[in-house]
């Protein structure tokens, strides 16, 4: 079945230049060929076109339709700009088909009950497809320029009459990609790129801070022992007192710097004397 549809589509493309279905002829005289009737008003909305409203009709048996985007195989639609598709109709029935109009609508892909936009319907005058014949009809449409870029579903329908009974067939029900017109990058793309750069910048700052934090830990000066490893409890108390005094000196005001300097000198003198006594005691001590 798929091969038949592909063959039918290829046949329509090859035969489209020779089909007597056109968008606007100035001739008022119509010529009848062996397969298709030519009209002077085809593709132009007529005042006497019957309005079927939003009614839904069933497809007629023996009528097959196909759709082709001739200049846009990727189905990328620029918002606010006209796009064209071709609708192929093959009539395998016993009666002629009178094509009334082609219409389409845009829906959200996950739920077709959510209508995004009704596209302009294109009506045809005196467009008929005789029995055992085929024809191609153009449909030009444009989505709203305010439509947000993204993926949507396009549903296209062709309305026709057979023996004055209305029918309709869906020639396309698939995905289209809507993009902003006139620019390589959309607003959404610029926002996402800017957000990504900002996140990378923040991540770089965090990594830099972590590296500095680790380098400070590794560069801490080791504890310097004065004298030999043999110390007593009193020496530890002096060291703790000196460390506490340094911590206290960090929070004092500038007016007390002289007092802090004298205190540091006095404490340093006591520690040197205590270290000298400890070293001398350790040299003279002989275990029993």
Q: What is the mean pLDDT of residues 112-124?
A: 92
N-terminal to C-terminal alpha carbon distance within the chain: 110
What is the predicted pLDDT for the residue at 105? 96
Q: Are residues 37 and 93 in the same domain?
A: yes
Q: Are residues 35 and 137 in the same domain?
A: yes
Domain residues for 231? Answer: 223-288
Q: Are residues 112 and 245 in the same domain?
A: no
Given a cut of 70, is residue 206 above it in pLDDT? yes
Domain boundary among 184, 208, 234: 184
- 122 vs 198: CA distance, rounded Å: 48
Q: Are residues 133 and 246 in the same domain?
A: no
Q: Are residues 239 and 144 in the same domain?
A: no
Domain boundary among 128, 153, 184: 184
Label residue 56 by pLDDT band (50, 70, 90).
confident
What is the predicted pLDDT for the residue at 198? 84
Higher pLDDT: 159 or 5? It is 159
What is the predicted pLDDT for the residue at 35? 34
Q: What is the mean pLDDT of residues 177-200?
A: 76
87 backbone φψ class: left, alpha, beta (φ>0; ψ -120 to 50): beta
- Give the pLDDT confidence of 215-237 residue by residue, as tens digits: 776 766 556 555 555 555 555 66
- Domains identified in the chain, total number: 2
Domain boundary among 184, 207, 242: 184
Strand 150-162 to strand 165-179: parallel, antiparallel, or no bridges (unpaired)? antiparallel
Cβ atoms of residues 19 and 100 within 8 Å? no
pTM as predicted:
0.49
Cβ atoms of residues 83 and 138 within 8 Å? no
Q: Are residues 130 and 229 in the same domain?
A: no
- 36 vs 185: CA distance, rounded Å: 46
Please, what sign has the CA dihedral across residues 97, 100, 106, 110? negative
Q: Are residues 30 and 146 in the same domain?
A: yes
Q: Are residues 164 and 229 in the same domain?
A: no
The CATH number given to whatever domain includes residue 103 is 2.60.40.10
Closest listed residue to residue 160, CA positions, set 220, 110, 97, 215: 97
- Tell me, rounded to whole angstroms, the distance of Cα 261 from its chain centroid: 66
Q: Are residues 245 and 110 in the same domain?
A: no
- Give the pLDDT confidence of 235-273 residue by residue, as tens digits: 566 566 556 555 655 554 444 555 556 566 655 665 666
What is the predicted pLDDT for the residue at 212? 82
Label residue 121 by pLDDT band (50, 70, 90).
very high
Label residue 214 by pLDDT band (50, 70, 90).
confident
Average pLDDT, the chain: 72
Label residue 32 by pLDDT band (50, 70, 90).
very low
**Does the residue 85 lie in any domain?**
yes
């Amino acid at each position: 079945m798929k091969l038949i549809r592909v063959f039918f589509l290829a046949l329509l493309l090859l035969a489209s230049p020779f089909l007597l279905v056109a968008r606007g002829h100035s001739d008022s005289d119509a010529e009848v060929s062996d397969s298709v009737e030519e009209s002077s008003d085809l593709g132009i909305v007529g005042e006497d076109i019957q309005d079927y409203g939003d009614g839904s009709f069933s497809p007629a048996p023996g009528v097959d339709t196909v759709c082709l985007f001739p200049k846009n195989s990727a189905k990328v639609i620029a918002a606010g700009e006209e796009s064209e598709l071709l609708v192929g109709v093959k009539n395998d029935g016993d009666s002629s088909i009178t094509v009334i109009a082609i219409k389409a609508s845009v829906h959200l892909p996950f739920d077709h009950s959510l209508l995004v936009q009704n596209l302009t319907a294109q009506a045809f005058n005196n467009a008929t497809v005789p029995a055992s014949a085929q024809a191609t009809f153009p449909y030009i449409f444009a989505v709203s320029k305010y439509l947000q870029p993204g993926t949507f579903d396009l549903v296209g329908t062709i309305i026709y009459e057979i023996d004055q009974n209305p029918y309709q067939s869906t020639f396309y029900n698939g995905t289209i990609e809507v993009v902003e017109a006139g620019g390589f990058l959309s607003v959404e793309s610029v926002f996402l790129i800017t957000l990504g750069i900002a996140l990378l910048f923040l991540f770089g700052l965090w990594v830099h801070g972590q590296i500095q934090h680790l380098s400070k830990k590794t560069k801490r000066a080791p504890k310097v022992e004065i004298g030999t490893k043999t110390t007593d409890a009193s020496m530890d108390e002096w060291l703790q007192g000196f460390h506490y005094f340094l911590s206290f000196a960090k929070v004092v005001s500038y007016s007390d710097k002289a007092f802090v300097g004298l205190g540091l000198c006095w404490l340093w003198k006591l520690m040197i004397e205590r270290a000298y006594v400890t070293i001398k005691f350790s040299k003279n001590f002989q275990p029993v």
